[in-house]
Structure formats: structure tokens, C-alpha cells
Amino acid sequence: SQQGEEDPQALSIQEGENATMNCSYKTSINNLQWYRQNSGRGLVHLILIRSNEREKHSGRLRVTLDTSKKSSSLLITASRAADTASYFCATDDGDNQGGKLIFGQGTELSVKP
């Protein structure tokens, strides 16, 4: 079963604009990860944020985590056409020592040149 829900399901913006995607999850977690997937391809790891962190940056990416609301957001600044892809958040199962990831349904981002 899917852990999280992502919002919006689809997002269309112009190149240069910022894109914000949100993710909510249900259970306790140790960390949350964001992945990108280009059409028909595998997933590319973008960034991981631990449950005791509130914000993390990597290049044009900014991730926030609010464990009290069980939610996270991914901000892509100054978007480019090459950012067009599906973006997924994934959480571990906080009560389980195993590392299986539980994914949301994803946000499909389209960046128009």
C-alpha cells in the first residue's frame, strides 16, 4: 500500500519559475527521501532528510520536513526544461529495521521552455 500522498499530482510551470511539491505520510519515520524519474526510466536519488532535520539544501533543491504534520515539501528553484520528470517521496518504515521504502504516487512536473 502507498504510504504517502503527493500534491499536486501534476504541475506545469514555465522555465525559470519555482516548483513546489508536497508529500504527506502516515506512520513514524526515520528519514524521508525524494527521487526523480524520467519517463520510462529508473529512479534517481535526489536528497535524503532525517527525521530530526527540518530543512536541507542541495543545489537548486530545498526539502523541508515537518514530522508533527507528517509532511514534506520539495522546492526546485529556477526550474529548467530538463527538470521535467515525475518526483516521488519515499519513507522508510520507522518501526522496522528493514530498509524498504514506501513511495507516494508522485507529482508529474512539466517545465515549459
3-state secondary structure of 81: helix
According to the binding rule CB under 8 A, does residue 103 interact with another protein? yes
The span from the CA of 38 to the CA of 110, in Å, is 11
According to the binding rule CB under 8 A, does residue 10 interact with another protein? no
Contacting range for another protein; rule: CB under 8 A; set: 11-19, 55-63, 66-74, 103-111:
103-111
Backbone phi, psi, residue 7, to 5°: -145, 130
CB of 106 to another protein, least distance (A): 5
Residues 21-80 contacting another protein, CB under 8 A: 30-31, 33, 35, 40-45, 48, 50
Contacting range for another protein; rule: CB under 8 A; set: 11-19, 60-68, 73-81, 99-107:
99-107
Q: For another protein, which residue of 59, 69, 100, 113 counts as binding (CB under 8 A)?
A: 100
Q: Which of 19, 22, 45, 42 is nearest to 110 (CA)?
A: 19
> What are the C-alpha distances in Å from 103 to residues 80, 100, 111?
25, 10, 23
Cis peptide upstream of residue 8 (ω within 30 degrees of 0): yes
Residues that bind another protein (CB under 8 A): 2, 30-31, 33, 35, 40-45, 48, 50, 88, 90, 92, 98-106
